[in-house]
Amino acid sequence: MEFEYFSRYDSTPKNQNRQSLLATGWRPLQREINWQFLWELFNQDTKELTQKTLNLASGMAEILGRNNYTWWANILSLASENTRYEIEKFWHYITPEPQAPDYRYKDVLNTETPILQFVSRNSIPIDYVLNRLQEITVLRVLNVLGQPDIITQHYLERDFYYPVEKFVNWERIDVVNTVYAYWSQQDVWLQIEAYDRGRRQYTLMSRDMSPLINKATYDLAVMLSGYQSRVGKVHSQYPIRTFPTDIQSFTDTVQQAILNQNQLAVVVHGEPGTGKTAWTQAVAQEILVPLGFVIFILDHDAIANFVPPTYLERICIIINEADNLAQNRASEVAQYNNKTEHILSLLDGTLYQSVIDDTGIHSKQRLVVLMTCNTTERLDPAMLRKGRVDLMYEFAQRFV
């Protein structure tokens, strides 16, 4: 049996790649003289500049002064590949390089696209869904940014640029080596690398990407629940104003707490059919989404392995049937899993705030946790301690 090997670098001839770039709209980038750069070069590297200038002049004089060729043959020799190479080397020395990303930028967000899904019967595809969320975020950020100021690519020791006035979308940009794009107003760089079979990696770099990410993730929701896991939008069947008056009053209290606190945990309990789950969906759609929160709805399998994405500033986690998840650890059932500890860690914020890196990125991440349960009797007592659950309310009236 024979296998065909696909290589990112070797599958296409180099000349064909260069012709492909020109055919798809790329143009050679001519480096222009910059008098300020040249003046700084003269002041700071006078010896090297003088030496390189004399070497180039000496080489050209030698070509023009050959006695074994006619004068016109010597002039033609100036256009030879070797001479052109030496002239380009000198030109690249006295002209500034094309703009390139500053890899010291603190905010970096990347994704491979399209995202590949690997489904296992033993676990729900948490990684796939979270990677899909990150892919959607990056692509939405690019959509928010719109047309860049520059698009460049370096290939075979030559620089190319793509005319921005012809830019339509990133899928149409032919990527042979590495593509760079820059938005000067937002101070954002994009780096695109191509892999085999049409896959790409997009990397965004900026001093502060938070405003762009907040715009890009507006109205997004993630459901992690077995094979129904997906990224979409929250849909609420029942508006808040349709709930009983006492629940509407409690909702006002919750809304005020969301505005005042960086972290909030709410538990609503009551018999089945009293509208607990419908209420969390209504709060998510009518209060949290307008405030820029990304909604995560987690089931009992997802809660044990979920860590809030660090690039998001505002997160809401909805946990239904919490009494079956955060069970009293004194019970025999709760001793066979670590879901109670994980929920406690989420409520404490220890998973994402106990250690803050020296850059302080998203150190003020806001978290709202909405939990429903039929009864609080089976909940671990540690959950109900001060500082973990801020608000509790019983839903007593039949609603659904």
Does 5 fall in a domain?
no
Asked if the structure places residue 6 within a domain, the reply is no
Cα 337 from Cα 327, distance rounded (Å):
10
353 and 233: one domain?
yes
> Do 109 and 43 sit in the same domain of this protein?
no
Element (H, E) at 36: helix 35-44
Mean pLDDT of the chain: 80
Task: Mark whether 84 and 126 lie in a shared domain.
Answer: no
Give yes or no: residues 71 and 113 share one domain.
no
pLDDT band at 393 (very low <50, low <70, confident <90, very high): very high
What per-residue confidence (pLDDT) applies to 394?
A: 92
Residue 248 and residue 376 share a domain: yes
231 inside domain: yes
Are 203 and 311 a contacting pair, CB within 8 Å?
no
Confidence check: pLDDT of 187 > 80: yes
Q: Contacts from 149-153 at CB under 8 Å and sequence distance 24+?
A: 149/182, 149/183, 149/184, 150/98, 150/99, 150/180, 150/181, 150/182, 151/179, 151/180, 151/181, 152/29, 152/98, 152/99, 152/179, 152/180, 152/181, 153/21, 153/26, 153/177, 153/178, 153/179, 153/180
pLDDT band at 124 (very low <50, low <70, confident <90, very high): low
Q: Whole-model pTM?
A: 0.78
Question: Using alpha carbons only, what angle is made at residue 34 by residues 29 and 35, rounded to the nearest 5 degrees?
Answer: 160
Do 237 and 248 fall into the same domain?
yes
Where residue 266 sits, what CATH number does that domain have? 3.40.50.300
For 162-169, what is the mean pLDDT?
93
Whether 117 maps to a domain, the answer reads yes
Q: What is the pLDDT of residue 10?
A: 39
The mean pLDDT value for 227-236 works out to 84
- Residue 293 resides in a domain: yes
Task: Indicate the number of domains in the chain.
Answer: 3
Name the range with the highest mean pLDDT among 21-35, 38-52, 102-116, 205-219: 205-219
The pLDDT score that the predictor gives to residue 218 is: 92
Domain boundary among 213, 244, 277: 213
- pLDDT of 118 strictly over 80: no
Q: What is the pLDDT of residue 335?
A: 46
297 and 365 share one domain: yes
CB neighbourhood size of 83 (10 A) = 15
Asked whether residue 7 is domain-assigned, the answer is no
Question: Which of 213, 245, 271 finishes a domain?
Answer: 213
**In a domain? residue 185:** yes
**Are both 292 and 370 inside the same structural domain?**
yes
Rounded to 5°, the CA angle 141-362-284 comes to 70
Q: Comparing 94-98, 116-120, 247-251, 329-333, which segment has the lowest mean pLDDT?
A: 329-333
What integer pLDDT is reported at residue 8 of this predicted model? 34
Q: Name the domain boundary from 94, 110, 142.
A: 94
Per DSSP bridges, beta strands 391-394 and 263-269 are parallel
What mean pLDDT do residues 298-304 have? 78
- State residue 134's pLDDT score: 94
State the average pLDDT over residues 96-109: 80
Average pLDDT, integer, range 32-37: 79
pLDDT score at 356: 54
pLDDT tens readout for residues 36-75: 877 887 888 888 888 888 888 888 787 777 777 777 777 7
Residue 317, pLDDT above cutoff 80: yes
Q: Which phi and psi angles does 105 have, rounded to 5°? A: -55, 140
Residue 342 clears pLDDT 70, i.e. is over it: no
Element counts in the chain: helices (H) and strands (E): 11, 14
Domain contains 134: yes
Q: Which of 141-145, 180-184, 258-262, 381-385 has the lowest mean pLDDT?
A: 381-385
More confident residue, 228 or 152: 152
Please indicate, yes or no, whether residues 88 and 182 belong to a single structural domain of this protein.
Answer: no
Pair 183, 292 in one domain: no
Q: Among residues of the chain, what percentage have pLDDT more than 90? A: 34
pLDDT at 302 over 60: yes
Q: Based on the domain organization, do 22 and 83 belong to the same domain?
A: no
Q: Are residues 207 and 245 in the same domain?
A: no
> Domain range spanning residue 139?
14-27+101-213
